[in-house]
Amino acid sequence: MVKALVVGVVMALGAAVPGEVSDVESVLRQALEDTGVPGFSAVVTRGDEVVHVGGYGEVAADTPMRVASVSKSFTAAAVMALVDDGKIALDGAVAEQLPGFVMADPRAERITVRQLLNQTSGLADFTIDVAALDRARSLEEFVEGLQGGGLDSEPGVKYRYCNANYDLAARLVEVVSGRPFAEFVRDRVFRPLGMTASSVGGEASAGFNSVFGAWVERAESVGLVGGSGEVVTTAADMGKWLISQNGRGTQVVSARGLEVMHSPSGVAEYGMGWAPDGDGLLVHAGNLFTYTAVQAISPSTGYGYAVMMNSASLHDDAYDVLRALVAVTQGGEPVPTGGGRQWAEVVLGVLGILAIGLGVLGVVRAGAWARRRMGAPRWKVGLRLVLGVLPAVVLVAYPDLVSVLLNGRTVTWGQLTYFALPLTVVLVVAAVAGLATVGARLARLQSAA
């Protein structure tokens, strides 16, 4: 009896020190100031309780927020609920359970449901027509649009993050359950957890992009209501989800199902809508064109975290805020929030101004440049001119270069006018400056000849 009392007191004291609500509130208010974002909402849970939930700036705790790819963990839960019901065979072929799923690549017949959720199916953005699929008006039409596509690898041997995996899984849920995906998630995931303000494909306000320090309101580019990124929820609702994902409170999947969702595939560390971050956390981030979000759970401490922002920029501020919350609740060193976006845009701004200056100087001094090159070998003159064209070449290849950096994810020009706009502007300015300089020099060379 005495021993139990002592243990209880020690546990209570241990819980009070790192996770004080006042400390969390202080960190979040400081984060709003440091990041300079229009607003965000956040929630911290521990065990079966909400430690803190709140909204900051222009966002409240009950503001509907788009969570982008954080949605994948909800889709995984919907699939696992049907696995628990015995209606979906996790290691069965998708093609055998989803009539109409056919691809030009015969290897697709061997893709299993587990491989979809583990992102090891072999599907990749560059093996399917992502632009056409984004125009699909239903999940059924989306699956039909996969018919002409192929695979990047044999199913089950390579990890490749691809949204098509989870949209395909969402269609499987529709066919097996006989209900629209959004309705199934509402009734089997959201309602049991009391997430009454959450939905798949729900309404949310316009978000913001940062353009050299100025926040510009932009309408989010929303396409197909699928399983890869269409959940709209609130910080208050996310608290209920995190508690459940930590194995506490109401459960929407079996204990075994939860374990499978959180476990690596054997091919990569990615589980099913969750992946380890190296610090004992399971995390998943989400990035849309004007919204960013991140969720995390700590199986060892029972903590859960979610940060959602109605803004997007070249730097992921949401993840910085998450790291600060983890530090303050688990007794770590204070982690700075903010500065990444600001510094990135300052550097880009300086480069843009430098490009304009060099362009103007190149045009003004084109005559002198041409006179100095009179009589020089043509190949040397040509080499000098080619250097001025390089920025334009980089601009033309810009979407493809970004795609390479994103491990093969498809990137369009339209997407590059959202959160990447500062970089896009600088590349355009550099290309115009370079071409103007080359044009002026060629004109001067011709007139001098």
Cβ contact 217:50 at 8 Å? no
As given in the structure block, the two tokens for residue 6 are 């002592």
Q: Name beta bridge partners: 296.
A: 283, 305
pLDDT greater than 50 at residue 264: yes
Predicted local distance difference test score (pLDDT) of residue 12: 33
* Residue where the block lists tokens 């909204």: 55
CA 95 vs. chain centroid, Å, equals 28
* Per-residue pLDDT at 336 exceeds 90: no
Residues 18-337, CATH architecture: 3-Layer(aba) Sandwich (3.40)
| pLDDT beyond 60 at 386 | yes
For residue 182, what pLDDT band results from cuts at 50, 70 and 90?
very high
Burial class (CB in 10 A: 0-12, 13-18, 19+), 119: buried
Largest CA distance in the chain: 102
pLDDT tens by residue, 33-82: 999 999 999 999 999 999 999 999 999 999 999 999 999 999 999 999 99
Mean pLDDT, the chain, integer = 90
Q: Which of 182, 127, 119 is nearest to 151 (CA)?
A: 127
Q: What is the pLDDT of residues 276-327, one digit of tens each?
A: 997 899 999 999 999 999 999 999 999 999 999 999 999 999 999 999 999 9
Question: How is residue 101 annotated by DSSP?
Answer: -
Backbone angles phi, psi at 334, to 5 degrees: -55, 135
Spatial distance between the Cα atoms of 396 and 421, rounded to a whole number of angstroms? 15
15 pLDDT higher than 50 = no
Confidence grade of residue 449 (pLDDT, cut at 50, 70, 90): low
Question: Rounded distance, CA 8 to CA 15, Å?
Answer: 11
Q: Which residues contact 407 (CB under 8 A, 6 or more apart)?
A: 160, 161
Residue 3's pLDDT band, with cuts at 50, 70 and 90, is very low
Q: Where exactly are the structural domains of the chain?
A: 18-337, 340-448
Q: What does DSSP assign to residue 338? A: S
Task: Note the pLDDT tens digit of each residue in 430-442.
Answer: 999 999 999 999 9
Q: Which helix (H) or strand (E) holds 367?
A: helix 366-373
pLDDT exceeds cutoff 50 at 10: no
Residue 355 pLDDT exceeds 80: yes
- Evaluate if residue 380 carries a pLDDT over 90: no
For the residues of 57-69, what is the DSSP string, one character each? Answer: ET--TT--EE-GG
Least Cα distance to 199 among 187, 215, 207, 209 occurs for 187
Least confident of 81-90, 178-187, 413-422: 413-422
**What pLDDT sits at residue 223?**
64
pLDDT at 21: 66
Q: Residues 328-356: what's their mean pLDDT?
A: 89
**Nearest-angstrom CA–CA distance, 157 and 381:** 51
Residue given tokens 């930590």 in the structure block: 246
CA 122-408-133 angle, 5° bins: 70
Contacts for 163 with CB less than 8 Å, ≥ 6 apart:
69, 125, 226, 228, 229
